[in-house]
C-alpha cells in the first residue's frame, strides 16, 4: 500500500496536469509568434514595456523596433483624439538662464485635480542630462513625443558661442546629436528651429532651421532642412534667389506652429496674408490672417489642437474675455469657435490667493481637447506662479501646479511664459 502511494505521489509530481500542459504549450506558441507577442505588448503602458525589455533579447528587439513603436502609438491614442494625447507641458526660458519646468497633464486631473506640487530637483527634471553650470539649455521645438534641445556653452569662441542641437525622447531618455549645419558662424542673427515628426507618414524626422536678418524694410531669410534619414542638412532649391527669400516684418517668425505637415506663421496685419511652409513639398504658401487687429504687446496665443490651427486673443479691453478662432481645413477662413468669460474665475482666484490680477497676468498656454466629447480646456498661467485648467464647457477651473515665482516676474505678470516657450510632451517609445 505504501509503495502504491509513493508511486502515485511520484507520478503526480513528474506528470503535470492536462491543463498545465496545455497552458505551457500555449505559452510556447505565443512566445514563438512575434506578431502575437506585439499584439499583447502594445496594450501595455510604457513603464511595463521598459521592464519587459529585460525578459529576453527577442523581446528587447521587438519592443525597440520601429514597427512595434508605431503599433503601440496607434493603440495608445484614443480614437476621439485627432492629435496625440498630451502627457505634459515643458516651459523653457528664453533669457538664457537654462531654467526648464515640466508640468504633467493628467486628463482626470484637468477635471478633478488637486494641486500638483512640482519638485524642481534634478531627479525630476527630464532634461537633467543636458544641463550643467556651463551650459544654457532650451527646448526649441516639440513634435509627437520628440523634443529639439539646443545647448549653448557659456564660453565664447572666436566664432561666437558654441551650440549643439539634440533630438530627444524624454520617455526613453534616448537622444541624437545633429551635425553642425555650417562650417562657420551664422551670418544671419535671427534663428528659429522647428522639429517635424509624423510617425504616420515616416519614421524619420526633419529639423527646419529658418535664419533671418533685417534688410531694406523686410526680413531676408534662408532655410535649411536636416533629415534623419540622410543625417545631413540641405537647402531647398526652389525657394527664392540663391536660397534667400523675403518675409514681411509683420510676420511673427518666433511663433511657428507645425500642423498637418506644414509650419505656420501669423501676420500681425489684417491687410497681409499669413504664411506656411509645406515641409514635404518644400514650398511656401499663404493663408488668411486672423480677422482682427493683433497688438504685439497684448496677450494672444497661436497653437493647434485636433488637427486644426487656433488663435486666441482678448476681445474686451476692460475684462478677461477671450475669443477662440479656428482655421478651416482648406485655409479658407478663421471661424469663431468659443467666446470665453474668465472674469468670475479671476475674481475667485484673486480672493483665495490674495493677489491682484491685471489684464496681462492671465495668459493662455495651451488649448486641449479632453477625453470626453465636448470637453475643451484652456491651460492658463495666472498671476506670477499658477497653472490653471479651465473647462470651457462647464466653466470649472482647477489649479494644476504652482511653478514658483520666476526672477524676472513682476506684479504685472510673468512675461517669461510666452507661447513660444511652451511645448507639448507626448509619451512615446519611438527610437530617435
Query: Please, which pLDDT band fits residue 16 given cuts at 50, 70 and 90?
Result: low
Whether 294 has a pLDDT exceeding 90, the answer reads no
pLDDT (mean) for 176-182: 83
Whether 210 has a pLDDT exceeding 70, the answer reads yes
**Cα–Cα dist 423/419, whole Å:** 8
**Cα–Cα dist 208/247, whole Å:** 16
Query: Please, which pLDDT band fits residue 332 given cuts at 50, 70 and 90?
Result: very high
pLDDT (mean) for 73-93: 70
Per residue in 256-286, pLDDT (tens digit) is 899 999 999 998 888 889 999 999 998 899 9
Whether 164 has a pLDDT exceeding 80, the answer reads yes
**Cα–Cα dist 257/108, whole Å:** 27
pLDDT of residue 310: 93
Of all residues in the chain, the percent with pLDDT exceeding 90 is 16
Give the highest mean pLDDT range of 304-318, 329-343, 362-376.
329-343
**Cα–Cα dist 173/429, whole Å:** 10
**Cα–Cα dist 214/176, whole Å:** 33
- Which tops the pLDDT comparison, 364 or 409? 364
Domains of the chain (ranges; CATH) run 2-76 (no CATH), 88-425 (2.120.10)
Whether 382 has a pLDDT exceeding 60, the answer reads yes
Per residue in 37-51, pLDDT (tens digit) is 888 888 888 888 888
Whether 120 has a pLDDT exceeding 60, the answer reads no
Query: Please, which pLDDT band fits residue 12 given cuts at 50, 70 and 90?
Result: low
Whether 34 has a pLDDT exceeding 60, the answer reads yes
Q: How many CB atoms lie within 10 A of CB 338?
A: 16
What is the rounded radius of gyration, in angstroms, for the C-alpha atoms of the chain? 26
Q: Which of the residue ranges 45-59, 116-130, 168-182, 313-327 would you say has the lowest mean pLDDT? A: 116-130
Per residue in 123-138, pLDDT (tens digit) is 455 566 676 666 777 7
pLDDT of residue 217: 79
pLDDT (mean) for 62-70: 86
pLDDT of residue 143: 92
pLDDT of residue 48: 86
Of all residues in the chain, the percent with pLDDT exceeding 70 is 68
Whether 5 has a pLDDT exceeding 70, the answer reads no
pLDDT of residue 205: 96
Query: Please, which pLDDT band fits residue 121 given cuts at 50, 70 and 90?
Result: very low
- Which tops the pLDDT comparison, 169 or 415? 169
**Cα–Cα dist 80/64, whole Å:** 27
C-alpha dihedral sign at 425, 426, 427, 431:
negative
pLDDT of residue 418: 45
Half-sphere exposure of 17 (CA within 13 A, CB side): 3
174-177 sheet: strands from edge to edge: 135-143, 146-157, 160-169, 174-177
pLDDT of residue 122: 45
pLDDT of residue 420: 40
Amino acid at each position: 500500500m505504501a509503495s502504491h502511494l509513493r508511486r502515485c505521489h511520484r507520478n503526480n509530481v513528474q506528470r503535470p496536469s492536462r491543463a498545465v500542459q496545455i497552458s505551457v504549450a500555449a505559452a510556447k506558441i505565443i512566445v514563438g509568434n512575434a506578431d502575437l507577442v506585439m499584439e499583447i505588448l502594445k496594450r501595455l503602458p510604457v513603464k511595463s514595456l521598459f521592464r519587459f525589455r529585460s525578459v529576453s533579447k527577442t523581446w528587447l528587439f521587438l519592443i525597440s523596433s520601429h514597427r512595434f513603436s508605431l503599433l503601440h502609438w496607434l493603440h495608445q491614442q484614443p480614437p476621439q483624439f485627432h492629435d496625440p494625447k498630451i502627457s505634459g507641458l515643458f516651459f523653457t526660458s528664453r533669457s538664457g538662464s537654462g531654467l526648464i519646468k515640466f508640468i504633467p497633464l493628467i486628463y482626470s486631473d484637468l477635471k478633478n485635480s488637486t494641486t500638483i506640487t512640482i519638485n524642481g530637483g534634478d531627479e525630476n527634471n527630464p532634461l537633467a542630462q543636458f544641463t550643467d553650470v556651463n551650459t544654457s539649455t532650451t527646448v526649441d521645438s516639440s513634435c509627437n513625443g520628440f523634443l529639439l534641445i539646443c545647448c549653448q556653452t557659456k564660453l565664447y569662441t572666436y566664432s561666437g558661442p558654441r551650440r549643439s542641437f539634440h533630438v530627444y525622447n524624454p520617455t526613453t531618455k534616448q537622444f541624437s546629436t545633429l551635425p553642425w549645419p555650417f562650417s562657420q558662424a551664422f551670418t544671419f542673427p535671427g534663428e528659429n528651429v522647428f522639429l517635424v515628426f509624423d510617425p504616420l507618414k515616416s519614421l524619420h524626422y526633419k529639423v527646419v532651421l529658418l535664419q533671418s536678418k533685417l534688410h531694406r524694410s523686410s526680413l531676408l531669410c534662408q532655410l535649411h532642412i536636416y533629415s534623419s534619414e540622410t543625417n545631413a542638412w540641405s537647402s531647398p532649391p526652389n525657394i527664392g534667389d540663391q536660397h534667400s527669400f523675403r518675409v514681411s516684418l509683420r510676420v511673427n517668425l518666433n511663433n511657428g506652429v507645425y500642423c498637418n505637415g506644414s509650419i505656420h506663421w501669423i501676420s500681425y496685419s489684417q491687410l497681409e496674408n499669413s504664411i506656411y511652409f509645406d515641409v514635404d513639398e518644400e514650398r511656401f504658401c499663404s493663408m488668411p490672417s486672423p480677422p482682427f487687429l493683433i497688438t504685439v504687446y497684448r496677450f494672444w496665443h497661436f497653437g493647434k489642437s485636433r488637427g486644426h490651427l487656433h488663435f486666441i486673443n482678448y476681445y474686451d479691453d476692460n475684462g478677461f474675455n477671450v475669443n477662440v478662432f479656428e482655421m478651416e481645413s482648406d485655409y479658407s477662413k478663421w471661424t469663431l469657435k468659443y467666446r470665453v468669460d474668465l472674469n468670475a474665475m479671476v475674481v475667485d482666484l484673486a480672493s483665495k490667493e490674495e493677489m491682484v490680477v491685471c489684464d496681462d497676468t492671465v495668459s493662455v498656454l495651451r488649448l486641449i481637447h479632453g477625453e470626453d466629447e465636448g470637453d475643451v480646456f484652456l491651460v492658463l498661467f495666472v498671476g506670477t506662479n499658477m497653472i490653471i485648467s479651465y473647462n470651457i464647457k462647464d466653466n470649472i477651473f482647477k489649479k494644476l501646479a504652482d511653478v514658483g515665482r520666476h526672477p524676472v516676474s513682476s506684479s504685472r505678470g510673468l512675461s517669461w511664459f510666452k507661447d513660444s516657450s511652451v511645448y507639448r510632451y507626448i509619451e512615446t517609445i519611438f527610437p530617435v
